Amino acid sequence: MSSDYLQTVDWSRAQFAMTAVYHWLFVPLTLGLSVLIAIMETRYVRTGDAFWRRTTRFWMRLFGINFAIGIATGIILEFEFGTNWSNYSHFVGDIFGAPLAIEGIMAFFMESTFIAVMFFGWDRVSKRFHLAATWLTALGANLSAVWILVANSWMQYPVGCTFDLATVRNEMSSFREVACSPVAVNKIFHTVSSSFTLAALFVVGVSAWYLLRRREQRMARQSIALASLFGAVCALLTAVTGHRSGAIIARVQPMKLAAMEGLYRGGEGLPLTVVGLLRPAGGEENGDPFLFRIGVPRLLSFMSFNDPNAYVPGIDELIEGDSVRGMLPVAEKIARGRRVIDSLARYREALRTGDEAAKAGIEALFDPATAEGREFLREYYAYFGYGYLESPRDVVPDVPLLFYSFRVMVGAGMLFLLLLAVVWLCNRCGRLAGQRWLLRTAVWVVPLAWIASQAGWAVAEVGRQPWVVQDLMPVTVAASKIPSSSVSVTFFLFLALFTVLLAAEIGIMLRQISIGPEPEN
């Protein structure tokens, strides 16, 4: 690979990561706040109380600001698959493109259509039709997230596909397997519930700010009553699905789990590290990768395999392999992957020279209808992506980033669950207004919700490196063959644009919160 192409890969990774980080600042609030708004408007329609109309319109205003700016970053993110990652799009576009197409045709058009009614139809349509438009907007926003998460989950766990030798592409063989894989189902519930939790914390935090300033007392208390209960339930669901995520990762992405735990040497009955400090040199040069750590005995084994004595492999075992436990060494996977690459090269040569015998022999290897083909696909093509790696240690992601991000995410999640439960209880007992320390905590926890959300995505996306598609395609061969200077220029242009948009959103949000709800009639 040329040095300029490798620079293109690095700039493309940086640009996509930057765009995704900015986009994900807007998405979680959109998902959760849309549902909370729909619940508030349902109360208005059921009770006829103008208070709930006024409350709904206030939170809807904040939702609209966030939604509009989130659309801009999301569109750019999807276009980058074609501009920056054309090799990836060619290799798996038939699979990855299907859920994104459904997202655009069904979900995005739904929310884009009904959001106009939601904002501008208050006095133009009936109450029930307007309520239906609000719920359909919320449904469309969350369906968009569902289909995008299906596509992302397939990159983590590629199933329901077959390899077409003629086109050198993966093609979908089972939409059900792609959409309903255990990784996809759990990721959908975990991500959406965590987004609902973030939105609930936002509503609670803004309402707490009003209580501290003795403004909009009824709106603040009622919003807290709804959002804190909603958020506590969603935070609990996030914890449950997070535990399930660990068990799934242990089976389909064991290297990610080992990196999350800073686990270089595996074993049976392993503890889960609650807090710890990694050595700068990691575990490669030191017997113990930690300067210090506090853990819960046997919890890692239990959470991974529902058995406190279960064996959990570490980074070194995953690289070196273990014949007793059926783990191939990475060096052997690289050799098998290179055999597949060599077979594809010989196939192209056979096509060029018209060597029908060689062509037929290679086609038989990739034919899933024959025993020989099934064995080759299972034993060799399954490690296709390894053939592009230069060293066995290339399969190790950024251990410190994963280790600390995971603990930020989990620690913050536990704090959110406790805070929302305490706020709900104090509000229900009528004592929240006097607990100024608790109100201040609720305000200051709001930015932590976004930090935890970003940490969760760092765990998910950095954890599968070096793969863009797990085991099948490393990032180093997925990028477009374009000059690195083109990507670097657009990186800084997008960075400036997104920073301006973020600053504008924060400024407008703070201004609207300061203004407060519309005056009572």
Q: Write the DSSP assignment of 136-166 as a string of letters.
A: HHHHHHHHHHHHHHHHHHHHHS--SEEEETT
Task: Convert the pLDDT of each residue in 216-253 to its tens digit.
Answer: 999 999 999 999 999 999 999 999 999 999 999 999 99
Q: Which amino acid type is present at position 406?
A: F
Determine the pLDDT at residue 123: 87
- Reported as a single tens digit per residue, the pLDDT across 56-99 is 999 999 999 888 888 778 888 888 888 889 999 888 888 888 88
275, 327 in Cβ contact below 8 A? no
Q: What are the residue boundaries of the structural domains of the chain, listed by start?
A: 267-312
**Residue 294 β-bridge partners:** 275
Q: State yes or no: cis peptide before 297, omega within 30 of 0.
A: no
Distance CA 409, CA 403 (A): 10
- Give residue 73's pLDDT: 81
What pLDDT, on the 0 to 100 scale, is given for residue 286? Answer: 56
* Residues paired with residue 474 on neighbouring β-strands, in sequence order: 467
Query: For the packed helices 217-252 and 50-83, what is the interaxial angle rounded to 10 degrees?
Result: 30
- Cα distances (angstroms) measured from residue 210 to each of 33, 333, 440, 447: 18, 59, 11, 17
Q: Give me the pLDDT at residue 353, please.
A: 87
Q: Which helix (H) or strand (E) holds 172?
A: strand 169-172
**What is the model's pLDDT at position 519?**
79
521 residues of the chain, pLDDT tens digit each: 677 888 988 999 999 999 999 989 999 999 999 999 999 999 999 999 999 999 999 999 999 988 888 877 888 888 888 888 999 988 888 888 888 888 878 777 787 788 889 989 898 999 999 999 999 999 998 999 999 999 999 999 999 988 888 888 888 989 999 999 999 999 999 999 999 999 999 999 999 999 999 999 999 999 999 999 999 999 999 999 999 999 999 999 999 999 999 999 989 999 999 998 998 866 555 578 888 899 899 999 998 998 999 999 999 999 999 888 888 999 999 999 999 999 999 988 888 888 888 888 888 888 888 888 888 888 999 999 999 999 999 999 999 999 999 999 999 999 999 999 999 999 999 888 889 999 999 999 999 999 999 999 999 999 998 999 999 999 999 988 889 888 999 999 999 999 998 999 899 999 999 998 887 76
Number of neighbours of residue 88 by Cβ within 10 angstroms: 22
Residues forming beta bridges with residue 267, ordered by sequence position: 312
pLDDT of residue 60: 93
Q: pLDDT value at position 1?
A: 64
Classified as helix, coil or strand, 290 is strand
